A and B are shown apart, each in its own frame.
Chain A
Amino acid sequence: MSHQTAHKQKPAFAHMVWWFLFGGGGVVSAILLPVHVLVQGILGPLGIVHVVDRHYDTWIQVLGNPIVKLYLLVLIALPFFHFAHRLRYLLVDFGLPAAKSVPAQVVFYGGAVLVSLVTIWVLLTSAPISFG
């Protein structure tokens, strides 16, 4: 009996990890994304306000800050674990049950992992770390 329970805990643990990534990505994109889209996607390009990413010198200075790097990693990468789950089930709801399969899970969650790795690489290579 105890052996059986121990065996059953494995998928539960994996579920918990993916569930937290899903929930965390949902919270991060819900709380942080609208203001970035509004300020950097609309107000900045229209010239309504001065925004940090409009000029190279201000942008590179901000990007060099390790706290900003960590923040951007969370902001960009974490939501993809949320998106992967939602888009997978969107396909299921559109009548594509194959999106539930393990290969589909590998593609979608693997995609989220890939985006995370690319984000780390971009953050480490786009601007040298500086504490100024």
Chain B
Amino acid sequence: METATSDLVKAPPVSADAAAPATPRVYKAEMPRGWWLRKRHYFLYMVREFTALPLALWLLWFLVEVQRASNGPNGYYPHSSPGFVVFSVIVLGFALYHSVTFLRLFGVVTHIKGVPSRVIVLSLFALWLVASVVVAAVLIGFAR
């Protein structure tokens, strides 16, 4: 028994040392092209990561509209084209997917002592609902 244990912790045989290359070998993860199309779960993960791109584009487009306010009363025009509406519909889909996945994830990784993660997730969704109502009320309420 004793000898068996010491055998396990013995230094590797000399032959393995000699075969080792001079520079440390770096593990290279090989991922086949299109790996994310193989499983639904992988695909949805990539969709979640991809949501960043349409959301970023929409925010930049929104920033353009803010900037146009400097054109004065005659130069200002809001985004109105059918293309912008279609783009927004697509972005809304990605935005909702980001919201649902991120708030779920954020609720799970946030630890508050004595509060189950379910409660954290539910309060985040409630916060989302309240914030949406308030923002919509301001955007519509201050219009004419």
Contact = CB atoms under 8 A, between A and B. Distances in A.
A39 B52 contact: no
A17 interface: no
A16 interface: no
B11 interface: no
B63 interface: yes
Interface residues of A, number: 56
Contact of B52 (A32, A34, A90): A90
B contact residues, range: 35 or more
B92 A83 contact: no
Contacts of A39: 135-136, 139-140
Interface in B45-69: 46, 49-53, 55-56, 58-60, 62-63, 65-69
B49 A41 contact: no
Contact of B78 (A27, A44, A61): A44
Given A31-B131, A126-B67, A52 B52 contact: no
A42 B49 contact: no
B85 interface: yes
Chain B's interface: helix, strand, loop or mixed, by majority? helix
B78 to A, nearest CB: 5
B109 to A, nearest CB: 9
Nearest to B31: A95
Nearest to A75: B59
A83 B98 CA distance: 11
B138 interface: yes
A130 interface: no
A39 B89 CA distance: 11
A51 B91 contact: no
A44 B95 CA distance: 18
Given A82-B52, A90-B49, A127-B70, A62 B142 contact: yes
A60 interface: yes
A-B pairs, top 8 by smallest CB distance, nearest first, are A41-B88, A83-B52, A50-B143, A35-B132, A86-B52, A56-B76, A30-B99, A126-B69
Interface of A: 23, 26-27, 29-42, 44-46, 49-63, 72, 75-76, 79-80, 82-83, 86-87, 89-90, 93, 95, 115, 118-119, 122-123, 125-127
Given A50-B143, A86-B49, A122-B63, 9 more contacts: A23-B106, A29-B99, A31-B128, A37-B88, A51-B143, A59-B76, A76-B59, A86-B52, A125-B70
